[in-house]
Amino acid sequence: MGNHLSAKARAILDFIARTQAERGAPPTLREIGRRFGIRSTNGVRYYIDRLELEGLIRRRPGAARGAIPEAPTAPGLAILGQIAAGDPVLSEEQIEGRLDLERLERGSPDFALRVRGDSMKGAGILDGDMVLVRQDPTPRDGEIVVALIGDESTVKRFYRRGERVVLQPENTDFDPIVVTESSPQLRILGKVVGVYRETV
Amino acid sequence: MGNHLSAKARAILDFIARTQAERGAPPTLREIGRRFGIRSTNGVRYYIDRLELEGLIRRRPGAARGAIPEAPTAPGLAILGQIAAGDPVLSEEQIEGRLDLERLERGSPDFALRVRGDSMKGAGILDGDMVLVRQDPTPRDGEIVVALIGDESTVKRFYRRGERVVLQPENTDFDPIVVTESSPQLRILGKVVGVYRETV
DNA sequence: TTGCGAACTGAACATTTGTTCAGTATCTTT
DNA sequence: AAAGATACTGAACAAATGTTCAGTTCGCAA
């Protein structure tokens, strides 16, 4: 034993997980209620609260079908903070989090783009690196973006200067690109949310 | 060719599939619209209709998040080579490969380590970056390694010089570390097979 | 027998979300 | 030059769905 969760709560968790797997989306509160003979959505909510407290369910408040079972196994790579001498590298104490490309903290990317040239060397983005891009045509000042200038895609830092947009390289060997905001030559594809490189 | 579905429609399908995989439930019409710059839910509906006609999407009418992809798509992120103007970003022609952290081309990493300090700045590894490490105590000359020197873990370039091992920073502000190969102070944890950084 | 917590009921209510409809701008085709 | 097709916009609407609140029932402990 040791687990203070009722059999009914378990059955509900199982139902949610199975529904999600079978048809691609979790059930609604009312669907759960119908299945278990609970007539009030609040009765179902009572169980969802319980499951969430146990960490068995993740919840997105307000969203339809927002009760989502936590995956049993953690995906991605273990992130270590500072490695301590002594105990083995992958021991629990050393694990700071998990790295999963499709679930970043700050915003999950839509695609990766291979970078050509050294114009962003100063920002640690080298020739051949891949930038992870979140599609978003409205970057904020100072963010690194992927832009299409005419026929060329380019990675630069984005600044708005009145009517104009400045695409600023981070390498003194290169000059900034300045265009009017409404230019048909300019298309902002998205912003860079991550950088990735394979070495060796 | 052969398939009469627009590149944008494909990109939307990809987004739906990925959203479903990542958070357990498909996106709403408005979420799709926001992502693709389509302001009217009916504009999104137009694409969903199209995808359903092609049999790529199953639909549960009236249900929230009712558009569910029929077939799972490839895991990982699409890697684009050079983006061509004209058709939208995620069209098949532009996809060069797929990026999956747990299946790299050159050797899959065992863990990720957060880097402290700027000693490898010249190699494009900045403070706060994560290096992806393959556990391997026998690096080749010139490879970047993670080493434990006494109690400190450090990321440096590895060189063998006769009896000695040189751990070389890539920043002129730092000095190389030289130790004898058999020193109990030195432990090579593995080699860096990738670098990863979240921006913004 | 009273009190208390677990497990709900019932009924609003507020949002979220899908649906429908009437248009429009931009193409390409006729 | 007119007719369609494509790819939407905008607005209104209704249905689906999560949230909240005030109670209720029942078993069990004090």
pLDDT tens track for A121-145: 999 999 989 898 888 878 889 999 9
Q: Over range A109-113, report the average pLDDT.
A: 84
B68 contacts on A by Cβ (under 8 Å): 23-25
- Which residues in chain B are closer than 8 Å to A67, comparing Cβ atoms? none
- What is the distance in angstroms measured between the alpha-carbon CA of B46 and the sugar C1' of D3? 22
Q: Is residue B1 within 8 Å of residue A2, measured between CB atoms?
A: no
The mean pLDDT of A43-50, rounded to a whole number, is 92
Q: Is B169 helix (H, G, I), strand (E, B) or coil?
A: coil
More confident residue, A177 or A153: A177
Residue B60 and residue B91: Cα distance in Å, rounded?
27
Q: Dihedral angle at the C-alpha atoms of A149, A156, A77, A136, nearest 10 degrees? A: -60
- Which chain C nucleotides are covered by protein, judged by CB under 7 A? 6-12, 15-22
> Within a 13 Å sphere around the CA of A6, how many CA atoms are in the beta-carbon half?
7
Contact B198 A200 (CB under 8 A): no
| Amino acid A48: pLDDT | 92
| Burial class of A81 by CB neighbour count within 10 A (0 to 12, 13 to 18, 19+) | middle
- Residue A33's CB: how many other CB atoms inside 10 A? 20
Considering only CA atoms, name the residue closest to the C1' of nucleotide D15: B62
Question: Contacts of residue A171 in chain B, CB cutoff 8 Å?
Answer: none
Q: What single DSSP character describes residue B117? A: S
B134 CB contacts (<8 Å, ≥6 apart)? B107, B108, B109, B110, B190, B191, B193
Nearest CA in chain B to A25: B25
Residue of A nearest to B116 (CA): A82
What chain B holds in terms of domains, given with CATH numbers, is: 7-99 (1.10.10.10), 111-196 (2.10.109.10)
Strand residue runs (E) in B43-175: 57-59, 67-69, 77-80, 95-99, 111-114, 130-135, 144-149, 152-161, 164-168
Res B73: pLDDT: 53
**pLDDT at residue A82 greater than cutoff 70:** no
**Chain D bases closer than 7 angstroms to a protein Cβ:** 6-12, 15-22
**How confident is residue A2, by pLDDT bands cut at 50, 70 and 90?**
very low
CB contact under 8 A, A101 and B106: no
CA B184 – CA A100 distance, rounded (Å)? 35
Q: Least CA distance to A100: which residue of chain B? A: B101
- The pLDDT tens digits of the residues spanning B77-132 come to 777 776 655 545 555 556 677 777 666 655 667 788 889 899 999 999 999 898 98
Q: What is the mean pLDDT of chain A?
A: 82
The nucleotide closest to B48 (CA, C1' atoms) = C18
Alpha-carbon distance of A126 to B128, in angstroms, equals 17
Q: How far is A170 from A124, CA to CA, in rounded Å?
A: 9
CA distance B97 to chain A (A): 9
One pLDDT digit (tens) per residue for chain B, 200 residues: 335 678 888 888 888 988 888 888 999 999 999 988 899 999 999 999 888 877 788 888 889 998 888 765 556 677 777 665 554 555 555 667 777 766 665 566 778 888 989 999 999 999 989 898 887 878 899 999 999 888 788 999 999 998 899 999 999 999 999 999 888 888 888 889 889 898 87
CB contact under 8 A, A153 and B100: no
Confidence bin at A1 (pLDDT 50/70/90):
very low
Q: Please name the member of B24, B78, B85 whose beta carbon is closest to the beta carbon of A150.
A: B85
With b meaning 16 or more CB within 10 Å and e meaning fewer, what string describes B130-159? bbbbbebeebeeebbbbbbbeeebbbbbbb
Q: Which residues in chain B have Cβ-Cβ distances shorter than 8 Å to A195?
A: 195-197, 199
Q: What is the DSSP letter of A123?
A: G
Residue B153 among the catalytic residues: no
Residue A73's pLDDT band, with cuts at 50, 70 and 90, is: very low
pLDDT level of residue A102 (50, 70, 90 thresholds): low
